Amino acid sequence: MMSANVTTPTPATTSDPVAPVRKPATKGSLVPPRLLPVLATFVLFVLMFGTGAARYENFGTAQTVANLLIDNSFLIVLAVGMTFVILTGGIDLSVGSVVALSTMVAAWGLQAGLPAPLIVLLVLATGTVFGLLQGLIIQRFDIQPFIVTLAGMFLARGLAFLISAESISIKDETFRGMSGGAVTLPGDIVITYGVVIALTVLAIAAYVLHRTRFGRTVYAVGGNEHSAMLMGLNTARVKVGVYTISGFCASLAGLLFSFYMLSGNALHAVGMELDAIAAVVIGGTLLAGGAGYVVGSLLGVLVLGTIQTLINFDGTLSSWWTKIFIGALLLAFIVLQRAALRRRQ
């Protein structure tokens, strides 16, 4: 075989003149290509926020950003869990229903007079076990995650209705405290405990994804599951693990949502799993798996929230325009992803 490869001489790197030296095909740019999608989302967020600030009074303040976080803290947590799942190339449709179930379990337990800390543990355990079971079914029986979590979605929603078809309001002091309580940051910016929790979850998730073997295996499974298995990585544990994490995040989001709404309702969070998926995708994570960042998902949530806020500020547009914008944005991002993938191949 004669080489068809043209080995361009690169002076700096080699000491051995015989050894083939190859530079990566990508040209030197300021930003590594894998960060581009996140950067694009960030730019989009800045542009949208800038538009709002230019058009409306009182929009361009730090408190507006803080409010975005406050109003979407549960969605951030949900999107973080979803990011784990999507990074492996999977999907979790059950999370919206698990949020509803969590609010119901919390409201019902509090109504029954159980102590708040116990309720918190109970809710988190429920969601985690729910996710674990879904993960086990997906992994052991090698079933499409779409189908398993679709079943989980119906199941969790049904269980929520089983507790009560009526809305149950939450009167517990601790929960009300979490709801009303706030942290004042320098510059008189107020955020809720929910935001603190959401950002903590985000930080932990980023650490797990980038600095632990579990996290790197998540990316490896999303890149090529078969290869990851042949490389001797514990793909089974990771696959089960991501759905467990997603279940945990969904129940935590459910708690944040019950702080936010102060009620349990089986009709809460209908379709919220789709908002979470949209946020993850807009945040630059590939639906095929293997590439993406939780920070991107945070930006995705902020973009969604900004659209909502802009429409609220405008006042003349119907709130359905939110959906239309999100739809258009999602489409644009998926087409962009596809184009980027094509170019990479």
* The token pair that represents 217 in the structure block: 């295996």
Residues of this chain, 4-33, that bind other proteins according to CB under 8 A: 4-5, 13-14, 16, 18-26, 32-33
CA 258 to chain centre: 19
Given 3, 184, 318, 319, the residue binding other proteins (CB under 8 A)? 3
Please report, as a single letter, which amino acid is at residue 286.
L
Number of Cβ within a 10 Å radius of residue 124:
18
The single residue among 158, 212, 331, 338 that binds other proteins, judged by CB under 8 A, is: 212
Burial class (CB in 10 A: 0-12, 13-18, 19+), 24: exposed
Q: Which is nearer to other proteins, 16 or 173 (CB)?
A: 16
Q: What is the length of the chain?
A: 345
Nearer to other proteins, 9 or 186 (CB): 9
Whether residue 195 contacts residue 70, with contact meaning beta carbons closer than 8 Å, is answered with yes
Binding mask 276-315 for other proteins (x = CB under 8 A): --------------xx------------------------
Among 114, 182, 229, 270, binds other proteins (CB under 8 A): 229
Contact between 338 and other proteins by CB under 8 A: the answer reads: no
Query: Within 10 A of 235 (CB to CB), how many other CB atoms are there?
Result: 21
Q: Which is it for strands 182-185 and 168-169: parallel, antiparallel or unpaired?
A: unpaired
Q: Which stretch binds other proteins (CB under 8 A): 123-131, 134-142, 174-182, 230-238?
A: 230-238
* Residue 140: CB minimum distance to other proteins, A: 14
Q: Residue 85 interacts with other proteins (CB under 8 A)?
A: no
d(CA 321, CA 6): 53
Which residue's CB is nearer to other proteins, number 162 or number 203?
203
Give the nearer residue to other proteins in terms of CB position, either 202 or 304: 202
CA separation for the pair 97, 119 (Å, rounded)? 18
Kindly state the tokens that stand for 206. 């980023």
Determine, following the binding rule CB under 8 A, whether residue 36 of this chain makes contact with other proteins.
no
Sign of CA dihedral 25, 217, 78, 204: negative
* Window contacting other proteins (CB under 8 A); options: 70-78, 95-103, 181-189, 218-226: 218-226
316 part of the interface to other proteins, by CB under 8 A = no
Indicate the helix (H) or strand (E) that contains 183: strand 182-185
Residues that bind other proteins (CB under 8 A): 1-5, 13-14, 16, 18-26, 32-34, 207, 210-213, 216-217, 219-220, 222-224, 226-234, 290-291, 344
